[in-house]
Amino acid sequence: MSHAEKDSFGAKLGMWLFLFTEMLLFGGVFILYSVYLTRYPKEFGLGGHQLDLVFGATNTVVLLTSSLFAAMSVTAIKRGAKQLTLGLLSGTIGCALIFLFIKYLEWSAKFHHGIYPNSPKLIAGPPGESIFFSLYYLTTGLHGIHVIIGGILMTWTAVMVQKGMLNSADNVTLENVTLYWHLVDLVWIFIFPLYYLIL
């Protein structure tokens, strides 16, 4: 294949491969989760009840909506609707910010109750509970970092769309960033039932 022409299929192939590595990264945490779940099923159940279902459910809806906006922005740019694309991307970024804000409220409430890694309360409690919350903070923290990275990427693409560098003919970057965003959403879809809805 010649060097000059842009290979958007190749770019998407590369992105999919990268997304596999992201799934495997989270897969490591989920392996730990499954091992410790079989070891401490009761403590995991009790731990799950201490998480706030309203916060979790709201965040699930927020992220799903953001993914919808992201997917629509790809269609919009392919139709050449620049303003609509920018609006939808802003919607995604807005949802990301709302998600992070809710996460902040949730974490600070837990901190307030003395539940955080290595806290005296967790050390005094049963080991399974400590493991559950360690995994909870690890997984949601790692996911939160991905939300932040995704938000930065979304902002960057929005600037490129604004400048006309991404348009109806050449939009594979937007498509790839959207794919990344769907992964962030997908991971949350696993986190929510595993931690909030367990038992």
Where helices occur in the chain by DSSP H, the ranges are 8-39, 41-50, 53-78, 82-112, 120-124, 127-162, 172-191
Element (H, E) at 91: helix 82-112
Of the candidates 60, 130, 140, 173, which one interacts with other proteins according to CB under 8 A? 130
Of the candidates 5, 21, 99, 160, which one interacts with other proteins according to CB under 8 A? 21
Question: Rounded to 5 degrees, what are φ and ψ at 7?
Answer: -105, 90
Q: Is 169 in the site for other proteins (CB under 8 A)?
A: no
Q: Is 187 in the site for other proteins (CB under 8 A)?
A: no
Q: Which stretch binds other proteins (CB under 8 A): 2-10, 60-68, 78-86, 88-96?
A: 2-10
Q: Is 115 in the site for other proteins (CB under 8 A)?
A: no
Q: Is 71 in the site for other proteins (CB under 8 A)?
A: no
C-alpha span between 160 and 155 (Å, rounded) = 9
Q: Is 81 in the site for other proteins (CB under 8 A)?
A: no
Q: Is 128 in the site for other proteins (CB under 8 A)?
A: yes
* Tokens 């309360």 -> residue: 121
Residue with Cβ nearer other proteins (6 or 79): 6
Structure tokens at 117: 């890694």
In sequence order, what are the residues at sequence separation of 6 or more whose Cβ sits closer than 8 angstroms to the Cβ of residue 175?
8, 12, 74
Of the candidates 81, 86, 142, 172, which one interacts with other proteins according to CB under 8 A? 142
Q: Is 25 in the site for other proteins (CB under 8 A)?
A: yes
Q: Is 27 in the site for other proteins (CB under 8 A)?
A: yes
Question: Rounded to 5 degrees, what are φ and ψ at 108?
Answer: -70, -30
Q: What is the DSSP letter of 169?
A: S
The binding site for other proteins (CB under 8 A) comprises 1-3, 7, 9-11, 13-14, 17-18, 20-22, 24-29, 31-32, 35-36, 39-40, 117-118, 123, 126-128, 130-131, 134-135, 137-138, 142
